[in-house]
A = this chain, B = another copy of it.
Amino acid sequence: MNVFLKNKIENSISNFNFNSGLSLDALPVEEKGELMEQSRIIKIPRKAVLYSEGEPPKGIYILMNGKIKISQLNFDGSVQILFIYTTGEVFGHRPLLGNDKHPVTATALADSEVVFIEKDQFLKVIERSPRFSALIMQSISHEFTILVNRINIFAQRGIKERLALFLLILNETYKVPGQMSEEGEITINRNDLAGYTGTSVENLVRTLKTFKENNYIRTMGKSIYITDFEALYALSGV
């Protein structure tokens, strides 16, 4: 894939996904140190729940390695996956700041490790550091924009288009950082992918099949690899 197209696609995708929206790397050393001094590491095995919908938030989390899915349960029992976080991403801070209970459930998709920072510690550092406040406002505002874009996708596009877009997003999520290849191994299972796309498993499988027949993707076991980025990009209509 030529580099111009690659950039164009990544650029568009970034309007619908906020991997590393909030990075503590941009923080001055003092604030970062202060945050980290009370932190501890939590291990979450695959399928374990980090927090559940309805719980009061206890602190914020930074994902060190693994994958965490953020999902919401419907009254009818169906599950919608909203985000999948990967290494380096910060989460759990928004309900803390907004005085909400957790609106979502966080579950490990793979064995994961997170750094946990206590609510009080986090709020204390924020209060003292305008720099940190500004960083958070910037990140959440940007993420707000991204969610608005997503609502549009869900309200207006069919499953083919949505899946095309989410595969491109997942490729970003699953590709190995620092590696030149733009192709990631998407290891999410069909049920979760259906919940992410907002459809049933059967429909998801059928759509994947047509993508395979068109050589947009290929599969090995349960893993999915994108073979034609441009086609998916065109299909997603973004």
Using a CB–CB distance below 8 Å, which chain A residues touch chain B? Answer: 15, 72, 74-76, 78, 80, 82, 93-100, 103-104, 126-127, 130, 133-134, 136-145, 147-152, 154-156, 198, 237-238
Contacts and interface: CB of A to CB of B under 8 A. Distances in A.
A11 to B, nearest CB: 13
A77 to B, nearest CB: 11
B142 A140 contact: no
Contacts of A150: 151
A80 B155 contact: yes
A53 B15 CA distance: 14
Contacts of A155: 80, 154, 198
A187 to B, nearest CB: 22
Nearest to A157: B74
Contact of A151 (B95, B136, B151): B151
Contacts of A127: 130, 134
A156 B78 contact: yes
